[in-house]
Structures are given as structure tokens and as C-alpha cells.
Structure 1
Amino acid sequence: MTTLTLSATSTPTSTQPSRNLLRDIRIVMTRELKPVLRDPFSLLFGMIQPLIFLALFGPLLSGSMGGTFGDGVWQWFVPSILVMTTLFGTSTTGANLLFEFQTGAHERMLVTPLSRSSLLIGRALKEMVPLFGQAVIVIAVMTPFAFDLHLGGALIGLALLAVFGVGLGSFSYALAIAVRKQDWMFWVVQQTFLFPLMILSGMLLPLETGPGWMRVASKFNPLSYVVDAERTLFSGDVLSSAVLWGWVAAIVTAALGLTVGIRAMLRSAD
């Protein structure tokens, strides 16, 4: 009697390809940029507010406080407008994520093999592209009006705004995730923090002539260091201590924003 012996054959197992964070970030960023590229009018529409401030608020500063600004009112005010554009643009990005919650698009993204961190970082980096385009337009418009452009300082200033904007955008996404069941709360919290940060940064009016408590409060406002750094960079001084403190504020904001935002994104998958 013979027995049939079957030899065990090893079945090849398919290994899941390792995730590449940079690749995932690029995929998410490209996905988020497609609507902007298909509708460039939204970029031009976003220019209305900063151009109105330049056209109406700038002459008021020049007429009432012209002697306060050593290098001219535009050297002082144009960097402020660029910071304001970044502040307004990135702090409202969470509204896009709220819309994706309502349509179910975010849940569909969660079932993809993309890393959860890339879903936030890619979205935050996407916001820098239209903001960079808007900054170029503002600089181009103001250069003929006695605004002295120092290209090296301007490029460093835009890079500084990009780092700071990534942090603000991450906080905005984290807020959207936290209030996704009560989306109206997003605008309440966003507006509550937006205007005190803006006023206490000296963005629109110099704080040197303000009350002492405002000058003290501005020391705890990271936005004030970014504003000072931008004004210094756009004046051509790239080695000032103000620039160093601006980078510290931007990097700390980005690190905290990404940490909070990524944790919120991971929890949104539960």
C-alpha cells in the first residue's frame, strides 16, 4: 500500500507597499489644488480685501501718521497686508474640511491608503500656493507706488509666511474637526481669536502709541514677531534679531499646529 505524500508549498504572500509620506503629501496637495487651477478667479477674488486695505487704509496712515514711519508708509504697511492675507486665508481653511464632512468626501479619503498625516499636511501646504500668488500680485501692484522691493528679503519673508501659514492652517483644520457636529462654532471661535491677534500684532496701527497693557500683551502674541520680521525683511535687513524672533515664532506655531492638527486628523478616523 502506498501513501501519497503532499509536500507543502509556500504560498507567496503579498506585502503591502510601504507608505511614503512625501508621496502622499504630494497626492493630497495636488488633489486640493485642482479646484484652484480650474477656477483661477477665486485667486483674484481673494485679492479684493487686501487691495481695499491698501487703497483706503494706506492713505489714512500716510496722512495722519506719515512721520511715524521712517522708511515710508508703504514699506511699513505692505508687509502687514501680506501677513493679513496669510492670516485670513489660512485661518478659514477649516471651512473647506467642514464642507467635506458634510458631503462625505473626507470619509472617502480616510479609506484610501494615504497616511493620515498627509491628509492634513498636504491640505495645509496647498494653501500656500494661492497665498504666494496673491503676495506676488500685491508686491507688483505696489512697486510703482514708492514701495522699494528688496528681492532677497522679500523671498525670505514669503518663506517665513509659508511656515507660519502651515501652522495656522493646521490649527484651522483641527478646529474644524473638533466642531464638525456644530459647524457654526467654527466661525465663532475663528473670529474670536482672529481680530485680537491682528490688532495686538501692530499690523494695522503701531502699538508704540497705544496703552501699556497692549504693548505687554503683544509680547505674548506670536503674530507680532512675524509682522516685525516681515517689515524688517522687506526693508532689506535679513540679519536683524527681529528676523530671528520671527522665525522662532513661525516655527513654533508650525510645530504646535501640525502636532495638534495631525492628532485631530487621526482621531477623526475613529
Structure 2
Amino acid sequence: MTTLSETPIGRLRWAVADSRTLTVRALLHWARRPGDLAVGLLFPVMVVLMMGYVFGGQMDVPGGGGYRAFIVPGMFAMTMVFGVETTFAAIAADAARGVTDRFRAMPAASSAVIVGRGAADLLYSAASLAVMAGCGLLIGWRAHDGAARALAAFGLLLLLRFALVWVGVYLGLLAKGPESVTAVQILVWPIGFLSSALVAPDTMPGWLGAAAEWNPMSATVTACRDLFGAPVPDGGSWAAQHAALMAVAWPLLITAVFFPLAVRRYRALGR
């Protein structure tokens, strides 16, 4: 006789329940370490203030417009990309301490550990965006085209973060320990800076600007600037001219590649 847990619907319910439990576990860890949480949320605020006040008066935006309106969407996206390091460190630390092995020994859905981690990191990223948006409003940034378009922009930012969660999970499961985060930084920081987040790609050498325009982060930044009503430098590539489409397509492609890889890697641990 087939039990409910052996049916597709039963297995899905089981996976959702396990994922919810592990999401709550991660959130409780943050609640027990409010200092770490505060520092994590204040860092992007510091970056926004530094870029807005230290560099804001020295930078010209191609096509006109204020640099603060230009830079704030870029800093939103930078925070989403740098979140890969947070996911990586958490997954690698659990693996190094044997926590992941204990989870694997439990009768839990194999996807629940990484889905729970991903959901918690997405909630943390949403909180970071809220704090950064508040800081941006204080320094004069505004979403000029209405609440609906602003919410769409925040949705694109979280979609990018959602995709990069699985990159962080996969790399964390490959790593020997959280100290390997330096290798992730070597990967992530060029992606963050070789984009349209801080400067317009047409100010770069031709080949470098073309690479920046095809950067997944640039697609999200450009689409968000348009949705917020911020200055959007003209781009010559197909990717720059269809930024909204690419801001959806890139995260879906990254998720389609790295989520199965992360699940497969988790199942292969200890073999």
C-alpha cells in the first residue's frame, strides 16, 4: 500500500515542511546574534553614504542626471551579488562543523537544507534592501515613476539574489571550510565592479564595456534604474537595449544551472 509520503504530493509537502523548519533555524541563529545582524545591515548603509557623499560630487553621469540617483540602484545590486559570500560562508561552516552530515542522517528531504538556507538568505537580503532604501531616501534618492515600478525593481533585485543563492550554496558545498571565502571574493568582486553599477560601460575601453553590458548584474542595474526613473546611460549592445528581459533571463538561467548542481552535490557528500 502506498503511503501519503510516497506520493509526489506527499513528498512535496514533506520537502516544504522540512525547508520551513530549516529556514526558521537560520533566522533563529540571526536572532541570537543581533550584533552580527546589525553589522551586516549597516555595512551596505556605510557604502551608500560613502558613494553618495564622498564620490557623488565628483562624478558625471553620461546623459545627465545626479550621481546619487545613478549610484543607489547600483549599490542595491552590488549588495545582492556580494550576498554570495554570506551564503557560501554559512554553508561551508555547517559542512565543516558536521552540521550538514547530521542533517543528511535525518529523515529529511534532500533539498530542504539548501532551500531552507536559500529562503533565509533571501529574507535577509530583503531586509538589507529595505535598510538601504531608507538610507537612499535620506541622501536624496527617490523612485520617481511610482510604487508599482519601484516594487518591480526590488523584485528584479531579489530575483538576482535568489539565483545567486544557489551559486553560493554549490560553492559552499565544494569548499573545505569557510576560510575559502577568499576564493569566492576573487570570483564575485570582479563581477560586481565589471558592470554598470558604479560607472557607465561606455566610459570603459570598448571590449571591457561590451563585457560589462553583458554582465548579469548590469542587466539588473539598468532595468532597475529605468524602473526607478534614474539616469540610464545609453548602451550599444543588444543586452543593454533589452535590459529588462535580460534581468529576468539571466537569473532564471543561473538558477536552472546551479540549483540542480547544488542538490546533486549535497546528495553526493560523504560518498
Shorter-chain TM-score range: 0.7 to 0.9
- Give the conservation status (yes or no) of the 8 Å contact 1:32–1:126: yes
Unaligned runs of 5+ in 1: 1-12
From the superposition, tell whether residues 67 and 193 of structure 1 become closer, same or farther in structure 2 (CA, over 3 Å).
closer
From the superposition, tell whether residues 236 and 63 of structure 1 become closer, same or farther in structure 2 (CA, over 3 Å).
closer
- Whether 2:219 is the aligned partner of 1:225: answer yes
- Give the conservation status (yes or no) of the 8 Å contact 2:170–2:262: yes
- Which secondary structure does the structure 1 equivalent of 2:59 belong to? helix
CA distance in 2, matches of 1:164, 1:67: 25
The one of 191, 196, 202 aligned to 1:197: 191
What is the CA RMSD across the aligned residues, in angstroms? 2.4
CA distance in 2, matches of 1:14, 1:205: 59
Partner of 1:108: 102
CA distance in 2, matches of 1:82, 1:173: 21
Partner of 1:175: 171
The one of 66, 76, 83 aligned to 2:77: 83
How many residue pairs match? The answer is 254
Tell me how far 1:110 sits from its aligned partner.
0.8
Larger of the two Rg values belongs to structure: 1
- Whether 2:154 is the aligned partner of 1:158: answer yes
In structure 2, give the amino acid aligned to 1:91: E
For residues 173-193 of structure 1, give each alpha carbon's deviation from its aligned partner in whole angstroms, at most 9, with x where no partner exists.
21122122x654x32421221
CA distance in 1, matches of 2:63, 2:133: 19
CA distance in 1, matches of 2:49, 2:199: 16
Unaligned runs of 5+ in 2: 232-240
- Whether 2:142 is the aligned partner of 1:144: answer no
Tell me how far 1:69 sits from its aligned partner.
6.1
Instruction: Give me the TM-score of the superposition, normalised by structure 2.
Output: 0.83
The one of 9, 15, 20 aligned to 1:26: 20
Q: State the identity as a percent.
A: 23
- Which secondary structure does the structure 2 equivalent of 1:202 belong to? coil
In structure 2, give the amino acid aligned to 1:133: A
Alignment of 1:3-42 (within 5 A): 15=3, 17=5, 18-19=10-11, 20=13, 21-42=15-36
CA distance in 2, matches of 1:142, 1:266: 42
CA distance in 2, matches of 1:152, 1:43: 29
